[in-house]
Amino acid sequence: MEYRKVKDQDIESPDGRSLSSTAASSTLGDAGGLKGKHSWKQKSIVTVALTLLTSSQAILIVWSKRAGKYEYSVTTANFSVEALKCLLSLVALYRTWNSQGVTEDNRLSTSLDEVSVYPIPAVLYMVKNLLQYYIFAYVDAPAYQILKNLNIISTGVLYRIILKKKLSEIQWAAFILLCAGCTTAQLNPSSDHVLQTPLQGWMMAIVMALLSGFAGVYTEAIIKKRPSRNINVQNFWLYIFGMIFNLVAICVQDFDAVMNKGFFHGYSFITFLMILNHALSGIAVSMVMKYADNIVKVYSTSVAMLLTAIVSVFLFGFHLSLAFFLGSTVVSVSVYLHSVGKPQPQK
Amino acid sequence: MEYRKVKDQDIESPDGRSLSSTAASSTLGDAGGLKGKHSWKQKSIVTVALTLLTSSQAILIVWSKRAGKYEYSVTTANFSVEALKCLLSLVALYRTWNSQGVTEDNRLSTSLDEVSVYPIPAVLYMVKNLLQYYIFAYVDAPAYQILKNLNIISTGVLYRIILKKKLSEIQWAAFILLCAGCTTAQLNPSSDHVLQTPLQGWMMAIVMALLSGFAGVYTEAIIKKRPSRNINVQNFWLYIFGMIFNLVAICVQDFDAVMNKGFFHGYSFITFLMILNHALSGIAVSMVMKYADNIVKVYSTSVAMLLTAIVSVFLFGFHLSLAFFLGSTVVSVSVYLHSVGKPQPQK
């Protein structure tokens, strides 16, 4: 039985999956069956949506902490997020069926061949989240926040290796800058701790970064494998497995509490807001995977981290450090370089 | 009368002029009269020489502080540096005259028209150094160290405006990164002070950065105005004015002390080493101005700052911070981007 408050580290580096560990992917688009060539407009809209949802996520977490100290079960909240995403996908599908009729691409029924890979991202995230419990034996929470930026590098490397997509040399330079800039923006006087991380801590951090990067890249591969397939069907199956895995987590961790106190014990208005936000963020992540890629996702969540800090100055009176300004400058230059450094026409 | 120890801030960000305020420029090359097109090899040699001399400069300062607490007059040391550079230029010229004979380009005599601009860099540095006394009313020494990185930006901007040389967009991005990276590498827990700098402090820091950048760019303009002119002649005249201005400084600040205790009072072996190092660094700066440019000089001294810190780990047991690693990463990427981001053939 483990009722926990939302963890501190969720505030500083939202990755769109802090509440719902297996909710790596989904989309609720009206354009399920577009072939490959998605418009610049579509890509921009989903990217901006992801950025705004991710930054408001962290702000909701801070707000919920200030509002009071209610406690709710994280596993039930995660399950609710998956269930809500499933529901939203079905609603979108229903509208598509009404307007376009049921086609090969938008029908819900699937083959074992198609659906067999869908649980893999959920399993990867589960392993990563298990490791998360052990890594705190070697590093403290602020150091873990810093180490999480290794995700940026691992995503870039796995994106290159698995999806075989080219980044230009300038885009690689931009990616290294993104990692350095995000880390710099998060520096605080105690950050040097991280340099004392023992080898086991480094190894685990690297393994976790690889698992997380692999899960993201693998989800993109699944979603893009059949470009004409309706994204809401793809999401539905991804979320079904998300629900199953979270149901197992509830049984293992919170079975007694849920039985004794009820499923929604400790939920407040803000908890529901957070669940809604996480569901929409999860769907935005999936849309970015369908219409853009993991690189755009990483940039989007990094910029969201900076936006969160700036908005927090006005909302909560936070102070920005010199390191934050320097890190933001480096991240901004990185975004610029990524856009001007597009590979030459050959791909 | 003002006998001072070498200042703390000289350690962290050597700019090649910490001892000798007016020694902005010189060269002791065997190739005085090359026209414009200087080989890549020549450019590399002077750049590496400047980097190594600048980093050993800071290390000598730390070493001299550890070795004991002798005190010497900074003004007499500055004068000695100028005099030594003058002497070295004359030695190099003498060798040139012996091998090539006296020509229009390598003769020492000059016209008022040619020499009239030579005192200007010296005057600019003098004004900047005067301002340095006043800025400490608004900012403390560590904050001043941080603000000095504005020099990087001012040099880039003035280089563009005055010398009308183009930097590509990627090179501009690299230049912003160089500034952010150097500042990040110097961050320490008290660096946030700099954000409380009052408006007057910011204004003075910006004016000082502009003066320093202008002096550097102006020196490059003087040296490059007549490419065929022997660099040692150009240096000789620059250093003559350096000597004159430092002589004035001795009379104003240290006249009594020099009269009572002697010119070389408080000098040790290491003081002479430092004077030799500063003279050679000054000459290296001039060579970089002749065979490369101010941008190369800025990169060279920035990389020297990082080298100094790394060498200090081994020599003095210094600890490197996470911020240092992040800043170094950003500076390295900046160096890479500067080299790949060369403007297209049109200039």
- CA distances from residue B13 to A30, B135, B149, B186, B289 in whole angstroms, order as listed: 57, 17, 9, 9, 20
DSSP class per residue in A153-182? HHHHHHHHHHS-----HHHHHHHHHHHHHH
Establish if A335 touches chain B: CB-CB under 8 angstroms. no
Here the tokens at position B142 are: 């560590």
With a cut of 60, say whether residue A12 has pLDDT above it.
no
Tell which residue, B235, B210, B211, has the closest CA to residue B223.
B235
Residue partners of B109: CB distance under 8 A and separation at least 6: none
pLDDT value of position B3: 33
**Does A329 sit within 8 Å of B330, measured CB to CB?**
no
DSSP class per residue in A8-53? THHHHS--S-SS-TT-------S-TT--S---HHHHHHHHHHHHHH
pLDDT value of position B62: 72
Nearest residue of A to residue B175, measured between CA atoms: A333
With a cut of 90, say whether residue A335 has pLDDT above it.
yes
B177 contacts in A (CB within 8 Å)?
Answer: 177, 330, 333
Q: Over the stretch A220-234, which tens digit does the pLDDT of each residue have?
A: 999 999 889 999 999
CB B47 within 8 A of CB B288: yes
Q: Is B90 exposed, middle or buried (0-12, 13-18, 19+ CB in 10 A)?
A: middle
- CA distances from residue A117 to A82, B181, B263 in whole angstroms, order as listed: 18, 43, 83
Nearest residue of A to residue B193, measured between CA atoms: A322
pLDDT more than 70, % of chain A: 86
**Does A170 sit within 8 Å of B322, measured CB to CB?**
no
Section B168-176 average pLDDT: 95
With a cut of 60, say whether residue A36 has pLDDT above it.
no
pLDDT value of position B286: 93
pLDDT value of position B69: 57
Section A159-180 average pLDDT: 93
Section A27-55 average pLDDT: 68
- State how far the Cα of A225 lies from the Cα of A33, in Å rounded to an integer: 12
- State how far the Cα of A292 lies from the Cα of B190, in Å rounded to an integer: 42
Confidence of residue B68 (pLDDT cuts 50, 70, 90): low
- State how far the Cα of A298 lies from the Cα of A51, in Å rounded to an integer: 10
Nearest to B170 among A170, A189, A326 (CB): A170
CB B186 within 8 A of CB B12: yes
Here the tokens at position A158 are: 């796995």
**Does B176 sit within 8 Å of A329, measured CB to CB?**
yes
- State how far the Cα of B32 lies from the Cα of B227, in Å rounded to an integer: 9
Cβ-Cβ pairs closer than 8 A, A with B, add up to 75
Q: Over the stretch B252-271, which tens digit does the pLDDT of each residue have?
A: 888 888 899 889 888 888 88
Place of tokens 């100055």: A313
Least confident of A92-96, B17-21, B50-54, B165-169: B17-21
pLDDT value of position A21: 32
Establish if A67 touches chain B: CB-CB under 8 angstroms. no
Q: Is A280 exposed, middle or buried (0-12, 13-18, 19+ CB in 10 A)?
A: buried
Section B117-126 average pLDDT: 87
The predicted complex's ipTM stands at 0.81
**Length of chain B, please?**
347
Nearest to A194 among B146, B180, B322 (CB): B322
pLDDT value of position B5: 32
With a cut of 90, say whether residue B130 has pLDDT above it.
no
pLDDT value of position A196: 86
Tell which residue, A259, A258, A282, has the closest CA to residue A72.
A258
Place of tokens 């540095």: B125
- State how far the Cα of A105 lies from the Cα of A89, in Å rounded to an integer: 15
**Does B191 sit within 8 Å of A333, measured CB to CB?**
no
With a cut of 60, say whether residue A347 has pLDDT above it.
no
Taking the alpha carbons of B337, A321, A299, A114 in that order, is the dihedral positive or negative? Answer: positive
A4 forms bridges with which residues in the sheet? A72
Tell which residue, B233, B197, B279, has the closest CA to residue B109.
B233
- State how far the Cα of A206 lies from the Cα of B334, in Å rounded to an integer: 26
- State how far the Cα of A230 lies from the Cα of A287, in Å rounded to an integer: 11
